[in-house]
Structure formats: C-alpha cells, structure tokens
Amino acid sequence: MSLPCLALAQTSPSTTTSPATQDTASKVDVTFSGGHETEDQDRGRPVVLIAAALNVPPEIFRKAFSMVKPAPAGRQPDPGQVNKNKETLLRSLSPYGVTNDRLDEVSNYYRYNRSRGEMWRNTPAKAYATMRNGVVTGITITDAGSGYISPPKVVLSGMTNITLTVTLSFGTDLAKNGAIKEIKVSP
C-alpha cells in the first residue's frame, strides 16, 4: 500500500507529453538512517514510544518510571522488586486508564537488552521520490515503518542537495507507533 506523502504535482510515473518532448518521471529511492536516538534523561529507553502506546504524555511516564528501581545492568531483577516496580507504575498510570494487562503488553513489546546491542522492536520505513526533469514532484511512502522515536535522516540516493524533513506519528497501535507520517521537501 502506498501512502502519498507530498504531492507537489499530480503526475503519473511514466507520462509523455508529446513525441517531441519526452517528459518522463523516474523513481529515486529514499534512504533512512537513525531515528532511534533517545533523550539523555531516558537512558536509552524508548519512552516516547512506551508513553504513546500507553496513551499518556511522556512526562507522566518519565515521572512514574523515576520511582522504579530496575535491576543493575546484566542482572536478573528480583521477583519481589519486579512486583514493587509494577505496583509503583500502576499507581501512577492507572488514573490515565493504564491497566496491568496493557502495561505488560507494551513493556513486553518494547523490551530489549541494550547491553547486548539489541534495539527495541522496529520496522524500517521505505519510500521513493518521483522526479521529473530533475525536480522532486512527489514522495511516496511504501512502508511507514515503526519504532522511530526521533525523525530519521532521509536522503535521496545520489542527491545531496535536496533536504527532506520527516514527521512521525505516535499512537496506541504498537505496529504503527513511531511511524513515518509525512516526508516534505524542505526549501
């Protein structure tokens, strides 16, 4: 499924205007990099994704999580501390409609071990630009991806003079949380 993101002109990919003027469109791949940089205060945790999935503001989740005592790096948490941590989180988040089941679902979905070089669950985005006579006439997102917490850097293959700006979309649907919402050509 293609998601049109920016239609600067309504054209089809292989339109010819007349036999004398060969005006053909071409597709150029969009390359994505980064987009997984966390804020220093989050210590490598995808707080923006977790908060969006729980339908709470990031500040609320940060405050709730600041009262949690995680196990030291490389060690399994003590079961008693796990229960205390969960109670602490639920006490802060239940007024926002967060249930134990939803907290478990979201926590398990975004669980990863950073010390092993793991990344939280994510799907890379895919897109292409339509070019006509050297000008970008549109950007088409073919897969919006998921798991981005900051706008990734995007470039058109072989074209360093075109600046693209990404807008992300966050929400409670885990498979679409942190997806590319829009890509615009910056002036």
pLDDT band with cut points at 50, 70 and 90 for residue 5: very low
How many C-beta atoms lie closer than 10 Å to residue 62's C-beta? 17
Determine phi and psi for 129, rounding to 5 degrees: -105, 140
Determine phi and psi for 182, rounding to 5 degrees: -160, 150
Residue 20 has pLDDT above 50, yes or no: no
Lowest mean pLDDT, pick from 12-16, 62-66, 162-166: 12-16
d(CA 27, CA 38): 32
**Overall average pLDDT of the 174-186 stretch:** 95
Q: What is the pLDDT of residue 8?
A: 34
Residue 180 has pLDDT above 80, yes or no: yes
Q: Are 180 and 141 in contact (CB under 8 A)?
A: yes
Q: Cα 135 from chain centroid?
A: 27
The DSSP H or E segment spanning 88 is helix 79-93
Residue 115 has pLDDT above 60, yes or no: yes
More confident residue, 112 or 109: 109
**Mean pLDDT for the chain overall:** 86
d(CA 92, CA 186): 41
Residue 84 has pLDDT above 50, yes or no: yes
d(CA 121, CA 111): 8
Per-position DSSP letters for 10-70, written without gaps between them: ---TT---BTTB---EEEEEEEEE---PPPGGGTT--HHHHHHHHTS-HHHHHHHHTT--P
**Overall average pLDDT of the 145-173 stretch:** 93
HSE at residue 155, side-chain half, CA atoms within 13 A, is 8
List all residues 6 or more positions away from 169 whose beta carbon is below 8 Å from its beta carbon: 144, 176, 178, 179, 180, 181
DSSP summary character for residue 146 = B
